[in-house]
Amino acid sequence: MLFGFATAAMAGFVLTAIPNWTGRMPLQGAPLIVLSGVWLLGRAAMATSALIGGLLAALIDLSFLLILFSVVLREIVAGRNWRHFPLPVAVAVLIVANALTQLEPNGLAQSGALGERLGLATFILLISLVGGRIIPSFTRNWLAKRGSDVMPTPLNRFDVGTIILVLAGLGLWVASPDAQFAGVALVVAGLFSFARLLRWRGWRTRYEPILWILHLGYAWVAIGLLLVGCAALFPVAIPYPVGIHAVAVGGIGTMTLAVMTRAIRGHTGRAWQLAPSP
């Protein structure tokens, strides 16, 4: 899920958003076809690794993120959009995480679980960063069109502090997933993430599914952080996979569906408002 599905979803969002941020032309035509083909080749390589060999499959699989990193870094640097420099850094971390997961099946290191945690933590942090920009922005625009006098709280120190707490909690969890101090840090990060979500006034968008699903996706991130943290603190009461399922399928899955649906309708010239059911 992490290095196949989630990386493809991230690439789609990043390659769509970067032209808006930098004013440069988007990746299109042959280069985009090549990038898509490399991703598909990676999936085929992993499925046939027993036939072609684990090391060759790993190199093919890693190629997608390596190419994506070079494209994202080039666009950010060429557009001098230093505000979004964390994006190529995140892709670089995902390359390391993917490599760690590939080392273990090839008998080179016992690093598979570490790579999975690092990859999952990177995606959750990206959702916290990017979601913290687009969710309140889209919500504010929607509420303004309807004359609402209550708006999402603008980005301030509370948001920055919450992101730092999420980063710290995830970092401790990646390093020591069973440590109680990591569990405490994740619980605190989850509570602050919930408070951050409430500041975006998501309940006021309950009549617009294409908008409130963004809030739901972020809510799953907060729930997942709490559950993963509680699993470290109370392993008998809360199984470890429960929290992983919440942040992976709930957080990553829901946010992917939410952003993808909105982007498809926007880029095909259709209204962002969904038609009511007959």
Distance CA 238, CA 100 (A): 27
pLDDT tens digits, one per residue of 106-137: 999 999 999 999 999 999 999 999 999 999 99
Distance CA 186, CA 174 (A): 11
pLDDT tens digits, one per residue of 214-230: 999 999 999 999 999 99
Distance CA 43, CA 86 (A): 27
CA-wise closest residue to 125 among 182, 76, 87: 87
CA-wise closest residue to 251 among 128, 70, 80: 128
pLDDT tens digits, one per residue of 56-99: 999 999 999 999 999 999 999 988 888 889 999 999 999 999 99
Distance CA 118, CA 148 (A): 41
pLDDT at position 166: 97
Q: Answer whether 0.85 is exceeded by the pTM.
A: yes
| Sequence spans of domains, the chain | 1-110, 120-269
Distance CA 88, CA 79 (A): 13
Residue 167: half-sphere exposure toward Cβ, Cα within 13 Å? 10
Beta carbons of 129 and 218 less than 8 angstroms apart: no
DSSP 149: S
CA-wise closest residue to 96 among 75, 69, 73: 69
